[in-house]
Amino acid sequence: MTGSKVIGRTILHIMLIGVSLLFLIPLWWLFISSLKPIDQILTIPPIWWPQPPQWSNYVDALTSPAFPFGQLMFNTLFYCVLATIGTVLSSSVVAYAFARMRFLGRDLLFGITLATLLLPGVVTLIPTYVLFQRVGLVGTYAPLIVPYFFGSAFNIFLLRQFMLTIPLELSDAAYVDGAGDFRILWRIILPLIKPAIIVVAIFNFIYAWNDFLGPLLYLDDASKYPFSIGLYAFRTRFALQWNLLTAAALAITVPLIAAFFLLQRYFIEGVTLTGVKG
């Protein structure tokens, strides 16, 4: 390796490390704030490590009646898991139809599907709310979960592009052996696009985990709140106890970080291999 390449790679690594540290500073500040006594939270100059660290903040936050961690965890996982299953199943089926099946108006329908990406979510917010209100489902998880079972334009596009990279000979051979479209999708296509499936699952799980507007709009029972609304309610009750609030916020962030590290190999593989093919 020449000297110029070594210098260029070194500079690149330094830049990447600098950017990584820049993104980690808010997480570090959240962590140290969760360990501070209340009188050290807003001190100037800031204290970069609490003296002494109060690990009891986590106990106080997670055992507070205002923040029922166990119930919030169950509600959040219930919402996220069903939403993820729904979007993976529906988006996979629709993506397979656009990638492999031949029918009149396929390209037009795919174009219309992509065009929905241009619509802001707030445009459909009121009509969707009115629809679920008229059928009596406001106050339940149905308005949050059911839309995921009708696919997502971005996920459909992502999975379709990945399916287009799979040789047609595999499907043709399965057709010759008597397999139908559903069996081909389930036994051949889905195992081959597992990295893309995991990417879609991660994206949607994180989106549902962080969703604030949907639960705020549709849920009126505190026993059904997910973490996002539970943390908001906790903030309104303990507005000045920032150490407890940051401890609760970090506690609901750790599961996402852990899940990403466990699945990062599949995530990187899916992002790398997903190509844009006509």
**Which sequence spans correspond to the domains of the chain?**
55-273
Position 275 scores a pLDDT of 47
| CATH architecture of the domain covering 55-273 | Orthogonal Bundle (1.10)
Cβ neighbours around 108 below 10 Å, total: 9
Give the 3-state secondary structure of residue 166: coil
- In this prediction the pTM is 0.83
pLDDT in tens, 62-104: 888 888 888 999 999 999 999 999 999 999 999 999 988 888 8
Question: What is the separation of C-alpha 135 from the centre of its chain, rounded to a whole number of angstroms?
Answer: 28
Separation of alpha carbons 36 and 245, rounded Å: 11
The fraction of the chain above a pLDDT of 70, given in percent, is 93
Give the chain's mean pLDDT: 85
Cis peptide before 120 (omega within 30 of 0): no
Length reported for the chain? 278
Burial group, residue 88, by CB count within 10 angstroms (0-12, 13-18, 19+): buried
pLDDT in tens, 95-152: 999 988 888 888 899 999 999 888 888 888 889 999 999 999 998 999 999 999 998 8
